[in-house]
A = this chain, B = another copy of it.
Amino acid sequence: MTDPVMPVPDEIRAAFRRPPGRALMLGHVHPDADVLGTLLALGAALEDAGWLVDYGGPHPVPASLGFLPGSDRYRVLPRIDGRYDLAVLTDCPDPDRTEGLIDGARRSAAAIVNIDHHPDNRRYGTVNWIDPSAAATGELVYALIVALGLPVKPGMATNLFTAIHMDTGSFRYSNVTPQTFRIAAELVAAGAPPAFVSNQVYERRPPEALRQLGEVLSRIQVSEDGRIAWLALPAGLVPDTFIEAEDLVNYPRSIGTTKVAVLLRERPGGPVKVSLRAKGEVNVNRIAAGFGGGGHANAAGCVVQGTLEEATRRILAAVRDTIGR
């Protein structure tokens, strides 16, 4: 038996080991489960310790994550008012992803705490804890709450379990380690319900979503050599209520010959959102970085201006350049 919890840097512990004050849990654009789950869990732990905590960011909680305990406390913030002792950002590699709220946070808060597992994190905090060996920022925040001696209550456990579940594709990705499973065990023991989380994430489709999924699958294309599979979705084809829009990239990925899978989603009147997935051999983070995006070696994303056709052409050319001909 080994200790399930990785060491927490002293300066991170020190940031929270002070008389309770006011904290802002600050999310980035389009917050996902690893962002929201960690902000809500850490905020709830701090509240139990006597802190006053606000939660928010540039975008609201997506409907699909409305089941996260405490998510009703998370607000869309047009700007940051008031004074804080700490502003905490989790799973946010680049402060520009707060749509300017980082500037308000710097003015309003005595210190910025930056906790993340992205290797390209820009270390913009007053204190930074960046650990790319963690499959999810949820692992780090679990370790932090334990290190602070605060109890992990069922709601926090559900938030952190969901964060880890989503960032590992349900414990399937190459980022999963023994530590990931050990922490999942502790979270389930603390009250996180795996079947409830899976039900909320995967089993709330409207009946018509399966017909839409069928239509989407007919659009998957595969390169002649089979190594690139992609799915280009015009605006309006998949409604916003389609819970698993991001997960659609797993279908082109599921083809045996695929080395790189690409999902391109056209936004009405806006740029094309691109999700890239690799199966171990190709670093798609580098491809995404070439378009101003980022992520991990096996899972990255970016935004491309122009039409869906143009974006598809540019991304596929970049993928071909990277994997070689």
Contact = CB atoms under 8 A, between A and B. Distances in A.
A203 interface: yes
Contacts of A258: 203
Stoichiometry (number of copies): 2
Interface in A193-216: 194-195, 198-199, 202-207, 209-211, 213-216
Interface stretch (A169-177, A300-308, A316-324): A169-177
A184 interface: yes
Nearest to A165: B171
A92 to B, nearest CB: 25
A250 to B, nearest CB: 8
A176 B171 CA distance: 13
Contacts of A202: 172, 250, 254
A210 B254 contact: yes
Contacts of A250: 202
Interface in A172-197: 172-174, 176-182, 184-186, 188-189, 194-195
A76 interface: no
A203 B279 contact: yes
Q: Which of A177, A182, A218, A229 has the most CB of B within 10 A?
A: A182
A4 B1 CA distance: 9
A217 B207 contact: no
Interface in A30-58: none
A232 to B, nearest CB: 15
B198 A172 contact: yes
A239 interface: no
A170 B170 contact: yes
Nearest to A204: B256
Contacts of A218: 211, 214
A229 B229 CA distance: 31
A206 B279 CA distance: 16
5 contacts: A172-B194, A176-B188, A207-B226, A207-B229, A209-B255
